[in-house]
Amino acid sequence: GCIQAGSLNYAADDVSSNFQATAKTAILFIQPQYNVTTLSSEGEVTLYHYGWKDCATILFYFFIAIILHAVVQEYLLDKVNRRLHLSKSKNTKFNESGQLCVFHLVSSVWSFYILITEGYLLHPSTLWENYPHVHLRFQVKFFYLTQLAYWLHALPELYFQKVRKEEISRQLQYICLYLLHISAAYLLNLSRVGLVLLFLQYVSELGFHIARLLYFTDENHQKMFDLWAVSFVFTRMSTLTLMFLAVGFGLARSENQGLDLEMGNFNTVLIRMTVLLLVCLTQSWLLWKFIRFQLRRWREFRHEQAVRKKSAAKQPLRPLKRDSLGHHENGVLKAENGASPRTKKLKSP
């Protein structure tokens, strides 16, 4: 009996140790790592910094993003597609805009909530003061990890969604740009500035994809594109202004100058100029594509107007046909004796 009891206790301890090891491994994938507890005026506050273990968390939410993508596609977009009966090319663009519309809506609301609760909008100077911003709150770090996971999941989705070859290069461009800018803001400890820029970008992109969805449902809905055009230009100007204010002037006057990898300080002239150059080139490229898009729209509109005028001019005047009861004269039906026929009264329904 003692031997049996001892073996049972040993088995229970073994199961408990295996469960604890499994729980630790699961937490590594689910929960953000590198937490530090500090004392502040609010009491004990848990903050986070980044490290190589973040790759495990990103990988987990990478698969979560793929599952959510499939759910939105099957239970929302596919049902709408069956009703609209779109062509194959329009169907691909509709699915793309539908997925991005859901993502941009969630991300813009989430980022706006973080900006309000963290006080970055009410106090813009906090975007560059006390740099480097190594320690992040849970919601800020979790936001960045899920953003990286989403844009990484968009790469295999190009294969799963069977995107056409001519569309792959365009989608790869903006996916890589998002990954580059989000990773740079996260790794260079520019998370506060990055949050504001992502919020502006997501709101602008949300307007574009809503306009495109409305256009696919009814091609007469084109006013949303005009509203998006205004927000697009405003977003580009706001992004450049904020970057020069925060990085070009704010960090340049900061006391923490120099490169210190252990402290997470990347406030050097070379890094600041590289970041500004990267943002300026990206915004210039986006503006160039926007201007080309608007010029193409204007040319297509002018061409449609010219075709309509030509078709209207070529249409011959229809000759007035004689009726068996009378004839037309100045647009009025006359009887054979010249008297106008009595109009028949319609009964009300």
Alpha helices in 223-349 (DSSP H): 223-243, 269-314
Mean pLDDT throughout 332-339? 45
DSSP 8-state secondary structure symbol assigned to residue 218 = -
How far apart (Å, rounded) are the C-alpha atoms in residues 206 and 217?
17
- How many angstroms separate the CA atoms of 177 and 184, rounded? 11
> What integer is the mean pLDDT of 54-83?
93
What confidence tens digit (pLDDT) does each residue in 233-254 have? 999 999 999 999 999 999 998 8
For 273-331, how does the pLDDT look when each residue is reduced to its tens digit (9 = 90+)? Answer: 999 999 999 999 999 999 998 888 788 878 878 888 888 777 665 555 544 444 444 44
Kindly tell me if the per-residue pLDDT of 22 is higher than 90.
no
Q: What is the DSSP string of 140-178?
A: HHHHHHHHHHHHHHHHHHHHHTT--HHHHHHHHHHHHHH
Tokens at 42, concatenated: 């609010």
Residues 6+ apart with CB under 8 A from 29: 56, 57, 59, 60
Expressed in angstroms, the distance from the first to the final Cα of the chain is 96
Q: What is the mean pLDDT of residues 6-31?
A: 63
pTM of the predicted model, to two decimals? 0.81
Does residue 4 carry a pLDDT above 60? no
